[in-house]
Structure 1
Amino acid sequence: MYSVVVKPIGPICNLKCEYCFYLEKEELYPDQNHFRMTDETLELFVQQYIASQPGPTVHFAWQGGEPTLLGIDFFKKVIKLQEKYLPSGWQAENAIQTNGTLLDSAWCEFFKEHRFLVGISIDGPAQFHDQYRRDKRGESTHHSVTAGVKLLQKHQVDYNVLCAVNAANVREPKAVYQFFKDLGVQFIQFIPIIEWLDDGQTSSRSVTGSEYGRFLTAIFDEWLLNDLGRISIQLFEECFAIWSGFGGRLCVFSEVCGQALAMEHNGDVYACDHFVDGDYYLGNIHNQELGSLAQSSFIKTFGDNKREKTAKKCQTCPVLFACRGGCPKNRIDGLNYLCEGYRQFFGYIDPFMKLMVELIQMRTPIAVVQKQMQQKYDQVWANPGRNDSCPCRSGKKFKKCCLERFS
């Protein structure tokens, strides 16, 4: 089963986030100054997408740019078209990713009525968020985004927070996590920012692999000791599924990819949201059925290459079963840019995940699981010497790694 990230307003946005990789996609359509999806294209997409899905639940994902710029009426059309084409007994589930600045009570009432899952982007406290997420006038957006979160909470809309981990916030994981807890957020995604420059280097806004690993490790410890069973962090849930033997559900940690397509406002379909360019163009739904594009030989080769083109050294890596080489967009000669962080983080959580899986499979009460996790944590971190290898699995001596955390 494949999915599609739909861009009904293309790359158009009311913000100018410095690390956004999609704003430049305007260059794909140099002769266009209007990126709004037409009613004809919208209906064709809904019809073809439903027809190519196994059901009985069909998942729709709406992104941008900023999709709320389209207005509520556009999404009312979406609902009507879904009702028109869904077979009897089937249902649609809609997810929308927004920067949150345009949300008001009308939007929230609509999302609540039609059971939208809302993803809202916020990078932690204002001093981190506003470093890179400003509007086109260069003004702060933090206040309006947090106001959007509170509106979603007030109207009891299902939502999650997407936090971009970047050079501004990567060294303050506890402050970022505590901010979300204080805001009342219960579902969080952490996405690393890696911007490639023309010379093959990464931008100053990017994180390094080791920074990302340390960031995740610090938050994992806080979550494990204080919030297990209360706060959902997407990556940690993904790890639980992997250690349980179900494999990665997110494409980044799947053995192959190619089942998460991207569609632009005019019906152009691409192999992936991160590969929206001419080399990965599959076709247009006005000329070819969406289902056939999703099953093309090109997309199969694209997906299989995730497995086939991993670096040779990955084949003997003890955490390959977890990272699966990561996202191809972040690879250099088959080796993922985040490799150091993946090896450290997945190696560190291994004993915790093994115990957690064992306890959950035995249907152990959550209070007992929490107690067992605390005991395992105390065991892992039991009095390391200054010159001992750091328990976080970084490969560094304790005094040069995590000693400050325990000082």
Structure 2
Amino acid sequence: MDVGARIAKGWTPRPFTSFILKLHSRCDLACGYCYMYRAADQSWRHRPRAMPRSTVAHAAARVAEHAEAHDLAEVGIVLHGGEPLLAGPDLIACAVRAVREALGPRRRARFAVQTNGMLLDEGFLRLFAELGVTVGVSLDGDAQAHDRHRRRADGRGSHARVAAALDLLRQSPYRHLYGGLLCTVDPRNDPIRVYEGLLRFDPPAIDFLLPHGNWSSPPPGRSPGDARTPYADWLIAVFDRWYAAETRPTGVRRFEEIMHLLLGGAAPAESLGLEPMSCVIVETDGAIEQSDVLKTAYPGAPGTGLNVASASFDDALLLAPIVARQIGPDALAPACRSCELRRVCGGGHYADRYRAGSGFANPSVYCPDLYKLIAHIRRRLAADVARLRRSLRPVAS
């Protein structure tokens, strides 16, 4: 890709507005579908377990530099891992305070932590309340569904421990910190039972993730040329239950984003739509990387060759792999560019398009599922719009 030619024609990159700080590169679970430790890229083995404070300082300065250069009033910071709570309260507090200090009084940072919940206790919750950090927790449903994959290294399930953490988080005085639940779909689990298992913890939001894979390393239940749609069928069952509720008990991010896109809006989702990529990762060694889900493609796939110690985030913006994720339909495969749902689907998650030999210029490995799910939601919305129109009386002139 000739980035210079695009700039000459008037294209400008979209600044990063969300920064994921990998405070710890290890985990205290051994999840069966983990893209960090079971994928093609094994760079975690050679990185520091915890981010050194010098790297924290470099990262904070680079975030502030980027915010200043692009006049960003607010940025999002996600504390991630591995399991970020393994970094300990002191390093977490250091990171939050370093970013806020670097940004100064004119710019704001919204902080969130994404945790598996194993270490989440009152001590951490008090710290997050003091620092103003919202908390997202990974939960795959009831005990049976959750413990199918989310197990300790010795094989023991983790649901009971996570449930205890969530019972603390969802009650006063910590309820205001509750960001929501992240659930990875497994079609072998009953969708309604999983949904009800999530609702038990009264989440303000739920995000359903598809297990990451690609054409060369397909996710469970998907293979090249297979027209079955197990993931769409699973998500449609949950959507119909959620959408039909008289009072919806929670937001479901994937469904809401699809609906918003179908109605002509934009959605800053990595797995849907055509909005430019706006998120970047800083690894424990300071490496600036793209989405870590790219680890499922091949060794080094997320890498940029840059490090916060010596490079700015603006330097990353001009790299061809990142430009490819900012130019919308121009980066889609021909089949996606001609698809009626391209504006909503956006080709699916970039990592899920990979095929050895042709790179990322392919439809998503989940293409049949995405098409079926989006088309189903479109039909439900269209039926409701038609009913609303019939119910409206003409206005007398």
TM-score range relative to shorter protein: 0.7 to 0.9
Shift of 1:63: 1.0
Within 5 Å, which residues of 2 pair with 1:26-45?
A: 27-28=42-43, 30=45, 34-45=48-59
Aligned to 2:253: 234
Of residues 304, 307, 319, the one that matches 2:341 is 319
Of residues 184, 190, 198, the one that matches 1:164 is 184
Within 5 Å, which residues of 2 pair with 1:35-114?
A: 35-53=49-67, 54-114=71-131
RMSD over aligned Cα atoms: 2.8
TM-score by length of 1: 0.79
Structure 2: gaps spanning 5 or more residues:
1-14, 356-360, 392-397
Shift of 1:23: 1.9
Shift of 1:262: 1.9
Distance 1:126 1:300 in 2: 39
Mean CA deviation greater in 62-71 or 73-82:
73-82
What amino acid maps onto 1:274 in structure 2?
V
TM-score by length of 2: 0.81
What amino acid maps onto 1:303 in structure 2?
R
| Contact 2:51-2:284 within 8 A present in 1 as well | yes
Within 5 Å, which residues of 2 pair with 1:140-219?
A: 140-154=157-171, 155-156=174-175, 157-169=177-189, 172-195=190-213, 200-202=216-218, 204=220, 210-219=229-238
In 2 relative to 1, CA 5–271 (structure 1 residues): closer, same or farther, beyond 3 Å? same
Distance 1:343 1:237 in 2: 16
Shift of 1:203: 5.0
Shift of 1:167: 4.1
Shift of 1:348: 1.3
What amino acid maps onto 1:103 in structure 2?
L
| Contact 2:32-2:150 within 8 A present in 1 as well | yes
Of residues 115, 135, 138, the one that matches 2:152 is 135
What amino acid maps onto 1:81 in structure 2?
A
Aligned to 2:365: 337
Aligned to 1:292: 315
Could you list the per-position Cα deviations for residues 56-100 of structure 1 after superposition, in whole angstroms to 9, with x for gaps in the alignment? 222101111000001111121123213322232322211111000
What amino acid maps onto 1:72 in structure 2?
P
Of residues 244, 263, 276, the one that matches 1:244 is 263
Of residues 266, 275, 280, the one that matches 2:285 is 266
Distance 1:349 1:14 in 2: 38
Distance 1:30 1:235 in 2: 32
**Do residues 307 (structure 1) and 336 (structure 2) align?**
no
Shift of 1:20: 0.4
Distance 1:240 1:228 in 2: 17
| Contact 2:93-2:131 within 8 A present in 1 as well | no
Aligned to 1:362: none
Count residues with an aligned counterpart: 355
Structure 1: gaps spanning 5 or more residues:
360-370, 376-407
| Contact 1:213-1:341 within 8 A present in 2 as well | yes
Shift of 1:250: 0.3
Distance 2:44 2:365 in 1: 30
Distance 1:206 1:266 in 2: 35
What amino acid maps onto 2:79 in structure 1?
W
| Contact 2:274-2:346 within 8 A present in 1 as well | yes
| Contact 2:170-2:201 within 8 A present in 1 as well | no
In 2 relative to 1, CA 340–93 (structure 1 residues): closer, same or farther, beyond 3 Å? same
Shift of 1:248: 2.7
Aligned to 1:346: 374
Aligned to 2:240: 221
Structure (1/2) with the larger helix percentage: 1
Could you list the per-position Cα deviations for residues 267-288 of structure 1 after superposition, in whole angstroms to 9, with x for gaps in the alignment? 0111222225424422111121
Shift of 1:306: 6.4
Distance 2:153 2:221 in 1: 18
Distance 1:31 1:304 in 2: 30
| Contact 1:257-1:302 within 8 A present in 2 as well | no
Aligned to 2:8: none
Partner SS, residue 13 of structure 1: coil
In 2 relative to 1, CA 201–114 (structure 1 residues): closer, same or farther, beyond 3 Å? closer
| Contact 1:167-1:206 within 8 A present in 2 as well | no
